[in-house]
Amino acid sequence: MNTIIKKYNLFVLVVFIVVLPVLLWSRVIISHRALYKEMISIMTILAFFQLLGQFYLNRSNKLVSYHKMGRVVTFHKIIGYLFIGILIFHPFLIVLPRYLEPGMSVTDAFISLITTFKTGVVLGIISWVLMILLVLISLLRNRLGMKYRTWRTVHGVLSVIFIVLATWHAINLGRHTDVFMSVFMIMVAGGGIALYLRKLIKDIKVGGENGKRNVTAPVFGDGRSRECAVASE
């Protein structure tokens, strides 16, 4: 039974963060655009949906419990670093085609892009800064001096803010975000955020109701430790 559920989980996740985004993108392929521009677009769309999928790869999703948590965490990290890496270069990929086109240079196009203070552009800049911040607090977690629970909450809340702004940015400026793609983005993002907020509220209630004491326990056998809240009897 567990094996069937595991396979079902993976299948549904792949459908929602890979198959459906590609199908929705294919509906609005712009015929007069160069192929390399469309490839940059689909790469960006897929990278964004992989990050949306991160909300479903943590303890807030009960179905994750059918998988080994160590593997889920590793998968979560790999996806995060890989696809955030792609999205970090997103502003530069937008103007990269200028190398192959006459007219405005890449540098001028980039400066024009980041100094055009329209709603979508401002949302994109803020999202980009939040993305960099998420990478930094993930890489420097052990040097920040935060308790594990505090770090996890900060990371989660920043992720929610990032996803809200990034989704708004994509819907506002995306060439391929028609009504269907926009609704789908909102559904996937909203579902993931709802899962996280439900878990966060539950943790806050448990923490307020049960007094807690901190216990230091080893993690992954490498000498590092995490703060584990244990409800007092």
- What pLDDT, in 10s, does the model give residues 40-65? 888 999 999 999 988 887 766 666 66
pTM score = 0.77
Q: Which of 59, 22, 58 is nearest to 41 (CA)?
A: 22
What share of the chain has pLDDT > 90, as a percent? 23
Whose structure tokens read 């949306």?
52
| Position 206 pLDDT exceeds 60 | yes
What share of the chain has pLDDT > 70, as a percent? 76
Q: Which is more confident, 124 or 95?
A: 124
| Position 184 pLDDT exceeds 80 | yes
Residue 17: the pLDDT is 85
What are the residue boundaries of the structural domains of the chain, listed by start?
2-231
